[in-house]
């Protein structure tokens, strides 16, 4: 399984970039999974709904099934890579939003210095590509913010056509 982390500071456009990359990879018929890292926790369902009530009652795992959809919330103590491999092993590629400190291949999105002072991963040996509208030029392939075709081709050659 190929795992790539899309990293950047808050407000840099990580989610938007991932959405565009997913669409391009799906056009090429790849099976794409995503992982969103959050420090704040999350709720799968609204308060009062059945799945919420199950979790609130103390269920360690809740699986919601609908035609064509499955959602799982489960108490887990696995590390990141174990989680991804355990739950998404049938994907061609998994795009991870966040986990900037993990030892994963990274593509950083960085907006011009008016928004953020400096990139996150300039000295990270796992930085494989840089997406920006700035003059920063790390020693990795660099793409413009709207060069989704180029970014997707890079991902395909770097991680999918091994």
pLDDT of residue 41: 61
Distances (CA, A) of 45 to 51, 67, 77: 6, 17, 22
3-state secondary structure of 65: strand
Q: How many residues does the chain have?
A: 162
Task: Give me the sheet containing 2-7, strands edge to edge.
Answer: 32-36, 93-97, 2-7, 106-110, 127-132, 142-143
Domains of the chain and any CATH numbers: 2-42+76-160 (3.40.50.300)
pLDDT value of position 101: 84
pLDDT, tens digit, for every residue of 55-101? 888 888 888 888 888 888 777 776 667 777 888 889 999 999 878 88
What pTM, to 2 d.p., does this model score?
Answer: 0.84
């Amino acid at each position: 399984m190929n795992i790539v982390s899309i990293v950047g500071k808050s407000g840099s456009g990580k989610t938007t970039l991932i959405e565009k990359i997913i669409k391009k990879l799906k056009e090429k018929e790849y099976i794409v999974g995503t992982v969103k890292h959050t420090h704040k926790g999350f709720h799968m369902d609204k308060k009062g709904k059945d799945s919420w009530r199950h979790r609130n009652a103390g269920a360690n795992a809740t699986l919601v099934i609908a035609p064509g959809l499955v959602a799982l919330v489960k108490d887990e103590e696995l590390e990141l890579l174990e989680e991804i491999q355990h739950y998404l092993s049938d994907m061609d590629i998994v795009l991870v939003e966040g986990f900037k400190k993990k030892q994963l291949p990274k593509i950083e999105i960085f907006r011009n210095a008016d928004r953020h002072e400096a990139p996150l991963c300039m000295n990270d040996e796992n930085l494989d590509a840089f997406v920006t509208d700035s003059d920063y030029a790390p020693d990795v392939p660099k793409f413009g913010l709207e060069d989704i075709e180029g970014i997707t081709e890079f991902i395909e050659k770097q991680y999918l056509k091994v």
